[in-house]
Structure 1
């Protein structure tokens, strides 16, 4: 028997099956389909589910899951979580950011953690003393490439690369190294400043584009691309135990 975790991001929907806190299987889709989800589940039984969204269409998905006979928790700004929150506008705090914070606190209790999530937007959030302290938001890696193409007349549409060069020797190289190294310097600046604010700070990289930066930024960094899923599962279990 499994917990079904549904994370609706800006680009994809992620489905995950969790058992005793461990990730057993996951997949992603561009849009929700009850039939496709049922086919993916196969004979596996989800006893409960949680739905969190970064783009506002979680209610319909939660209703569809309930229609499939799966008791479902809809993760909203009013949902209680096992983490204090210092954010001044909690109603505007992204569900993915808070879920990642819950996941980090569950995995590393008692530690101060800086979570760097490389998605459509790059978010950096601090968890310390069992509380969400706040963070930073800036354009993500692919958003930066897209902006260069969309808001100039001649620059091409590009994506990230694995290569690190001291200087770009063509327009392609200049764009790739400029965007990726620029984001590296931005992250390194935040990490350095937060290390001055919080003792024994642990830095976690997560999100779809984290792979491009783990080797570029070396400073006691852990990569955990399933941090949001872990946090959503922790929130679901928190409500299950609260009901007993």
Structure 2
């Protein structure tokens, strides 16, 4: 059994992986027996050095840990960045996961969380570039912090509607900005599928209402799992 960890800017998710099965876990709830059954922890982290250190203290000191980084090439997928390690490892793992699930296809891979990242992958495994924009909640926080008389609203992810108050207008505007960017990304390059992950992925899928738009909540874990027994 292996422990897979996705450490983001706002939350950390973990899975136990064995023979193709992912089981969600909470690190603090793992028992001594659970820890003894884990061969190795594989971690993809975009968090600060301090947060990474805090995460490491949650794991047994003797446990082998592999911190993954973006590279120029892995599993037939090529990174477009001139400095490959500068591509966020969450984006890299999402690309590797999407390519494993949908090989030899033209993909737009979207991770909708604190930030919304969009990356294109061609059928030959070439990453052709990507975009980064503020996520739904982040957009609200930025606007509220930069203006004197605007307050954040509780955001409903059921629909996109014209707003009848300033607070609601901020929330609806954030949704419109993200959806508009996604629609532009779909049109920018010829693709066969959109592969979504992240906390706001379900909202984007619902709004696009397209059979070629697929939600894969464990997409980054699929990318992490490819590195098991691969050194």
The normalised TM-score by structure 1 is: 0.83
2:66 maps to what in 1? Answer: 73
Matched ranges for 1:30-69 at <5 A? 37=28, 39-44=29-34, 45-57=37-49, 58=52, 61=55, 65=59, 67=61, 69=62
Query: Structure 1 stretches of 5 or more lacking a match?
Result: 28-35, 240-244
Identify if the C-alpha distance between structure 1 residues 63 and 76 changes in structure 2 by more than 3 Å, giving closer, same or farther. Answer: farther
Q: CA deviation at 1:136?
A: 0.7
Deviations 1:3-38 (A, max 9, x none): 1011111011211111122212233xxxxxxxx54x
Matched ranges for 1:117-156 at <5 A? 117-128=111-122, 129-156=124-151
Say if 2:120 and 2:130, in contact at 8 Å, map to a contact too. Answer: yes
- Find 1:116's aligned residue among 110, 116, 124: 110
Q: Does 1:175 align with 2:194?
A: no
Q: Does 1:216 align with 2:210?
A: no
Q: CA deviation at 1:95?
A: 0.7
Tell me the SS of whatever aligns to 2:205.
coil
Count of matched residue pairs = 224
1:89 maps to what in 2? Answer: 83
Query: Structure 2 stretches of 5 or more lacking a match?
Result: none
Distance in 2, matches of 1:96 and 1:104, equals: 12
- Find 1:189's aligned residue among 158, 163, 184: 184
The normalised TM-score by structure 2 is: 0.87
Q: CA deviation at 1:89?
A: 2.1
Tell me the SS of whatever aligns to 1:25.
strand
Identify if the C-alpha distance between structure 1 residues 85 and 138 changes in structure 2 by more than 3 Å, giving closer, same or farther. Answer: same
Deviations 1:155-198 (A, max 9, x none): 11224213435421222332222211222111111112223xx4
